[in-house]
A = this chain, B = another copy of it.
Amino acid sequence: MNSEDGTVTERGHLTVTSPTGRGRGDLFDPACPTRQLLDRLGGKWTSMAVKVLGDAHPGEVRFAELKRRMPGVSQKMLAQTLRSLERDSLVDRRVEAATPPRVHYRLTDLGASLTEPIAALRNWAEEHMARIDEAGLAWDRARS
């Protein structure tokens, strides 16, 4: 982010309106909800964590089990991802006081509701991504 330049380089977003549509006095959409959501889901592990927790719903999943079901994730990234989801109230964290400690995670109702739009994305992806891959390869070939 640039220093003291008051003008932000990013403002209006997916809620971009037609100039004639309605007079939005503000014009500046400091934080478009869709952008914010995409920023979260776009993270490398967020959607996978939601998926894994969603599959276990309404059961709880422990940290190590979560890690086991998300091959490739590091402890750091898993913890960070869960933190973020917890902060957003999408995930609930329950600590079982014991030695060693046990920590259980589950989706909140809000988090569970997210699985629906994600499912829409997944369905679209399953149906069309193969074609997109082909198109990409063809494009690469045709290029010079």
The residues of A with any CB-CB pair to B shorter than 8 Å are: 1-5, 7-14, 16-18, 24-28, 31, 33-39, 41-44, 47-48, 51-52, 54-59, 68-73, 86-90, 110, 113-114, 116-118, 120-126, 128-133, 135-136, 139-140
Contacts and interface: CB of A to CB of B under 8 A. Distances in A.
A120 B118 CA distance: 9
A71 B17 contact: yes
Task: Say how many copies of this protein the assembly contains.
Answer: 2
Contacts of A12: 71, 122, 125-126
Contacts of A8: 51-52, 55, 69, 72
Contact of A54 (B1, B9, B43, B129): B1
5 contacts: A11-B71, A16-B55, A26-B71, A36-B132, A86-B139
Contacts of A27: 71-72
Contact of A124 (B31, B44, B113): B113
Contact of A71 (B4, B25, B35): B25
Nearest to A40: B132
A117 B114 CA distance: 13
A89 to B, nearest CB: 4
A55 B8 CA distance: 8
Nearest to A48: B14
